[in-house]
């Protein structure tokens, strides 16, 4: 079996190379390996963990400690109480690794150890079996049960190597400091911040900046060259804040397409190239585009797309089993394509993905809801956050009760705004709810307001 | 909904209403500014805002009052606990 090192910094002289910045401190590879060793020794004898660490360095130590102790990191799409219950049904022995004082996750907990006095121990770079199951990421599915997708070590490493090649961040160049505004708990953040640093030979930044001023401070706190890994929403707000921006060598954006206008504004303000990444939870990243130059996506070299009937399948390279894509794709050349939106049922808000089927399932599972349906507005404005509407027949429930029940089940970004109480939904003779009829109902309810 | 739990001075009340109006406009909320209870939580229960909303509000607040919100600054987590906390923070930190 092929074994691949835990980190890409494998030359002997790299053992003291800085691999991360953690709360202002430079972390050498030897210190990282020691931290991983210490954390792994504290893990309970359980096979699955939910890594909730908000600091990216601590998350990475947690991920690596899980890898070296052959535990599986579970990465659900959201952390609502209902999702945590589902994760526990999937893996009854799951425990939660966290780094917040009042972690509310209803699982056995392990707090990330705060022990700066722990003596550093010498640890060789662990070699990991490429077939080892590292993580299971979940998509929302359509029946209320999250769908698991397995991520093995070999394919994760391969995908990051493809990314490094595409981004031009080869081992010969100086390591870039990777600053992310996206959480490491989702595929994009996992691949393009944590693994890009550890497996791409770059330097990880522990900070998880939130406000624009935080992003600027996080960039300033680490040496150039820097990579900013972000989303259309964060980038738009960062530009709008009109702060002085530190030097950045490269900007990555994913989760939703950027408008050409915003892409140009970003490149102009940063004076640096912007690459958009296309991928999915199931496939990981598979294509990029330089958005100021083209709308066409360029596939990673080993990935193939195949049209079958009315859907497109991705396979090859790190996509070890063929995956049907949920996007409407038009081929322009064998390795280039255009995206024409999502297949109708899929919803992506602020990088969180769900499906109308799943949201409707969750809504109708609430006691007191006789009927209910979510509605996705027609044209989601570029770079702004779209909000869903919902109509519900629930004569015994108040809006507050219903919203509280929904909040238990679905991520806050999908909560309906507005939530409309109606006497009945305009279902047709076969019980189906035509989208146009739902749209009309919502228009009537809201008067002239457009949705 | 408009019941005040503690007396609010005239200036604070005016600023509070102004901030509430900024929020309603920025987020296109389905409530009147005067209906946002000063002490009700803005996150989760209550007004039901999420982290993206908070970023949007932070932007309009920073432009209107000339301040920058920071997640690592003291009391960050309490700023968005309620309209009153947000207003108090703005009153203390505003430069315009």
pLDDT in tens, A20-44: 999 999 999 999 999 999 999 999 9
CATH code of the domain containing B72: 1.10.1200.10
Note whether B68 contacts A234, CB cutoff 8 Å.
no
Taking the CA atoms of A204, A46, A354 and A394 in sequence, report the sign of the dihedral they define. Answer: negative
pLDDT of residue A381: 55
Residue B47, domain member (yes or no): yes
A88-92, A329-333, A368-372, B8-12, range with the lowest pLDDT: B8-12
CA A432 to chain B, closest CA, distance in angstroms equals: 29
- Beta-bridge mates of residue A27: A20
Q: Residue A188 pLDDT > 70, yes or no?
A: yes
A39 and A167 together in one domain: yes
Which domain-ending residue is among A276, A309, A342?
A342
Stretch A279-303: mean pLDDT, rounded? 94
Note whether A210 contacts B45, CB cutoff 8 Å.
no
Residue A398, domain member (yes or no): yes
Residue B1, domain member (yes or no): no
pLDDT of residue A358: 86
Note whether A209 contacts B56, CB cutoff 8 Å.
no
A305 and A411 together in one domain: no
pLDDT of residue A350: 74
Q: Residue A249 pLDDT > 70, yes or no?
A: yes
Specify whether the CB–CB gap between A224 and A202 falls below 8 A. Answer: no
B62 lies in which domain range? 10-93
- Of A308, A230, A287, nearest to A262 by C-alpha is A230
Note whether A413 contacts B44, CB cutoff 8 Å.
no
CATH code of the domain containing A231: 3.40.50.12780
Note whether B70 contacts A404, CB cutoff 8 Å.
no
Q: Which residue has the higher pLDDT, A412 or A50?
A: A50
Touching check for B56 and chain A: CB below 8 Å?
yes
Note whether B52 contacts A213, CB cutoff 8 Å.
no
B80 CB neighbours in chain A (<8 A) are none
A137 and A111 together in one domain: yes
pLDDT of residue B4: 45
Q: What share of chain A has pLDDT > 70, as a percent?
A: 96
Q: Residue A150 pLDDT > 70, yes or no?
A: yes
Number of compact structural domains in chain B: 1
CA A407 to chain B, closest CA, distance in angstroms equals: 8
Touching check for B55 and chain A: CB below 8 Å?
yes
Stretch A427-431: mean pLDDT, rounded? 80
B70 CB neighbours in chain A (<8 A) are 211, 213-214, 217
CA B13 to chain A, closest CA, distance in angstroms equals: 26
A209 and A354 together in one domain: no
Q: What share of chain A has pLDDT > 90, as a percent?
A: 68
A119-133, A273-287, A294-308, B16-30, range with the lowest pLDDT: B16-30
The dihedral over CA atoms of A182, A185, A188, A193, expressed in degrees to the nearest 10, equals 70
CA B61 to chain A, closest CA, distance in angstroms equals: 10
A293-352 tens-digit pLDDT? 999 999 999 999 998 877 899 999 999 899 998 888 888 998 999 988 766 677 878 777
A297 and A148 together in one domain: yes
A371 and A324 together in one domain: no
A206 and A283 together in one domain: yes
Specify whether the CB–CB gap between A216 and B71 falls below 8 A. Answer: no
C-alpha A217: how far from its chain's center? Answer: 23
Which domain-ending residue is among A281, A316, A342?
A342
Q: Residue A156 pLDDT > 90, yes or no?
A: yes
Q: What is the mean pLDDT of chain A?
A: 91
Which domain-ending residue is among A342, A374, A404?
A342
B5-27 tens-digit pLDDT? 444 555 688 999 999 999 988 88
A324 and A359 together in one domain: no
Q: Residue A190 pLDDT > 80, yes or no?
A: yes
Distance CA A245, CA B68 (A): 14
pLDDT of residue A310: 77
Note whether A418 contacts B30, CB cutoff 8 Å.
yes
- Of A87, A21, A105, nearest to A57 by C-alpha is A21
A377 lies in which domain range? 346-446
Comparing CB atoms, the residue among A240, A385, A412 nearest residue B59 is A240
Residue B5, domain member (yes or no): no
Alpha-carbon distances, residue A348 vs A87, A414, B57, B59 (angstroms): 21, 9, 22, 23
Note whether A404 contacts B45, CB cutoff 8 Å.
yes
Note whether B52 contacts A403, CB cutoff 8 Å.
no
A244 and A374 together in one domain: no
pLDDT of residue B3: 44
pLDDT band, very low/low/confident/very high, at A219 (cuts 50, 70, 90): very high
- The pTM score is 0.87
A379-416 tens-digit pLDDT? 655 666 778 999 999 999 999 899 999 999 998 889 99
CATH code of the domain containing A432: 3.30.300.30
Q: Which residue has the higher pLDDT, B28 or A418?
A: A418
Stretch A192-198: mean pLDDT, rounded? 96
pLDDT band, very low/low/confident/very high, at A172 (cuts 50, 70, 90): low
Query: For residue B59, what is the nearest residue in chain A, using CA coordinates?
Result: A241
Distance CA A290, CA A286 (A): 14
ipTM of the complex: 0.80
A359 and A306 together in one domain: no
Number of compact structural domains in chain A: 2
A54-86 tens-digit pLDDT? 999 999 999 999 999 999 999 998 888 999 999
Residue B3, domain member (yes or no): no
A321 and A375 together in one domain: no
Count chain A–chain B contacts defined by CB atoms under 8 A. 56
Distance CA A331, CA A297 (A): 10
Specify whether the CB–CB gap between A279 and A151 falls below 8 A. Answer: no
pLDDT of residue A45: 97
A259 and A391 together in one domain: no
Stretch A244-253: mean pLDDT, rounded? 96
Residue A451, domain member (yes or no): no
């Amino acid at each position: 079996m092929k074994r691949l090192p835990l980190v890409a910094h494998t030359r002997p002289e790299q053992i003291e190379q800085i691999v991360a910045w953690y709360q202002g401190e430079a972390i050498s590879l030897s210190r990282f390996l020691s931290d991983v060793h210490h954390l792994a020794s504290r893990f309970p004898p359980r096979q699955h963990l939910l890594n909730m660490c908000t600091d990216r360095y601590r998350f990475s130590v947690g991920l690596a400690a899980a890898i070296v102790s052959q535990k599986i990191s579970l990465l659900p799409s959201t952390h609502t109480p209902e999702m945590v219950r589902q994760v526990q049904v999937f893996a009854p022995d799951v425990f939660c690794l966290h780094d917040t004082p009042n972690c509310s996750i209803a699982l056995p907990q392990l707090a990330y150890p705060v022990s700066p006095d722990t003596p550093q121990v010498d640890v060789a770079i662990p070699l990991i079996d490429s077939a080892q199951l590292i993580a299971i990421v979940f998509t929302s599915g359509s029946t209320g049960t999250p769908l698991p997708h397995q991520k093995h070590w070999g394919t994760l490493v391969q995908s990051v190597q493809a990314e490094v090649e595409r981004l031009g961040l080869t081992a010969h160049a100086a390591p870039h400091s990777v600053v992310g505004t996206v959480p490491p708990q989702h595929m994009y953040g996992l691949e393009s911040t944590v693994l890009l640093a550890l497996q791409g030979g770059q330097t990880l930044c522990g900070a998880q900046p939130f406000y624009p001023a935080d992003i600027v401070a996080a960039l300033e706190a680490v040496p150039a060259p820097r990579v900013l890994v972000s989303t259309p929403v964060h980038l738009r707000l960062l530009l709008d804040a009109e702060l002085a921006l530190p030097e950045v060598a490269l900007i990555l954006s994913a989760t939703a397409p950027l408008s050409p206008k915003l892409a140009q504004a970003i490149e102009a303000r940063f004076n640096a190239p912007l690459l958009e990444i296309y991928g999915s939870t199931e496939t990981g990243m598979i294509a990029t585009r330089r958005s100021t130059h083209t709308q066409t996506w360029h596939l990673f070299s080993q990935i193939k797309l195949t049209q079958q009937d009315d859907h497109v399948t991705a396979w090859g390279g790190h996509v070890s089993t063929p995956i049907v894509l949920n996007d409407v794709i038009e081929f322009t050349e064998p390795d280039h394509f255009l995206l024409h939106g999502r297949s109708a049922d899929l919803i992506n808000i602020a990088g969180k993905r769900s499906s109308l089927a799943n949201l409707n399932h969750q809504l109708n599972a609430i006691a007191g809801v006789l009927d209910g349906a979510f509605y996705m507005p027609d044209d989601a404005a570029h770079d702004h956050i779209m909000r869903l509407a919902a109509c519900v027949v629930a004569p015994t429930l108040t809006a507050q009760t219903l919203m509280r029940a929904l909040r238990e089940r679905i991520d806050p970004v999908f909560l309906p705004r507005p939530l409309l109480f109606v006497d009945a939904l305009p279902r047709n003779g076969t019980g189906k709810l035509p989208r146009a009829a739902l749209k009309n109902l919502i228009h009537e309810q809201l008067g002239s307001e457009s949705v | 909904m408009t019941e005040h739990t503690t007396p609010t001075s005239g200036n604070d009340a005016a600023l509070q209403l102004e901030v509430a109006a900024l929020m309603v406009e920025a987020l296109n909320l389905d409530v009147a500014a005067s209906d946002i209870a000063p002490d009700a939580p803005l996150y989760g229960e209550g007004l039901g805002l999420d982290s993206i909303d908070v970023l949007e509000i932070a932007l309009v607040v920073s432009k209107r009052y000339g301040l920058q919100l920071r997640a690592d600054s003291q009391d960050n987590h309490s700023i968005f606990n309620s309209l009153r906390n947000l207003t108090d923070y703005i009153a203390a930190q505003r430069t315009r």
